[in-house]
Amino acid sequence: MKRILIVEDDRHLNTGIVMALQGGTLSLDSAYDVSEAWGCLNREAEGTGEGYDLVILDVNLPDGSGLDLLMKLRNRSSVPVILLTANDMETDIVTGLAMGADDYITKPFSLAVLRARVQVQLRRNRSDKIHPPVASVNAGASDCFSQGDFYFDFPCMEFHGLSGSVELSRTEQKLLRILVENQGRVVSRQRLLEYVWGEGSEYVDENALSVAVKRLRDKLGAAEEIRTVYGIGYQWVKP
């Protein structure tokens, strides 16, 4: 049973999303503001020990910003988050992706498209839980990586950069892993999009990749190690 939390203050839209997704192996909870959503997240984590499998989160809520809720959530969880945002709020989209959102849908939207994107995120989440091998050209790559001040333990999700231990979102972890396992090689933007976002990559704006790379550089202090090869992709530079 996959559990989904829908955080949307428009009750008609919230109900419509529930009706569009209900059935099968999905269990759906609704919240209508930041406070109620945070309560649901806490109760679910305490009750099952695992939390939700997906959060659908409106950016504009009556008692605060969905982006603030996303920031709090990312401090403790890598649960996939799909943002709902007004179609003229490009800054919300860029900020949301930078803060760790996995996808976004602009209003108004098709419920059929929402269902498709939800399925993409749930498939990705299932694959991450069984720790699939990295699609890398470096056969037999280790689950740990060390270079100077950088140390990454992917199974334990422990990451150390120039300033010490850092927390990385699931997207950042996948991006970092494919870069370091191809150390010294240029990985194309298309390949990064397909690996990091999987089956949903066709829905992802290429700007999302640029934002994710910048966020990863900033967190790790890896401005020199993660090199941009303009027009092609990115490379983790060998010392």
Q: What average pLDDT does the structure give for the chain?
A: 83
**How many CA atoms are closer than 13 Å to the CA of 107, on its beta-carbon side?**
15
| CA quadruple 177, 181, 183, 185: dihedral sign | negative
Per-residue pLDDT at 31: 95
Give pLDDT tens digits for 42-94: 887 665 556 789 999 999 999 999 999 998 888 777 788 999 988 666 777 77
pTM passes above 0.85: no
Q: What is the pLDDT of residue 77?
A: 79
* pLDDT value of position 129: 42
- Of all helices (H) and strands (E), which one includes residue 5? strand 2-7
> Is residue 57 within 8 Å of 9, Cβ to Cβ?
no
pLDDT digits (tens, 9 = 90+) for 133-184: 333 334 334 688 999 899 999 888 899 998 889 988 878 888 999 999 999 8
Q: b/e per residue, 22-42, with b = 16+ CB within 10 A?
A: eeeebebbbbbbbebbbebbe
Residue 10: predicted pLDDT? 94
Q: Residue 15: which of 6, 23, 24, 3 has the closest Cα?
A: 6
**Residue of 90, 87, 94, 125 whose CA lies nearest to 108:** 87
Distance CA 97, CA 215 (A): 10
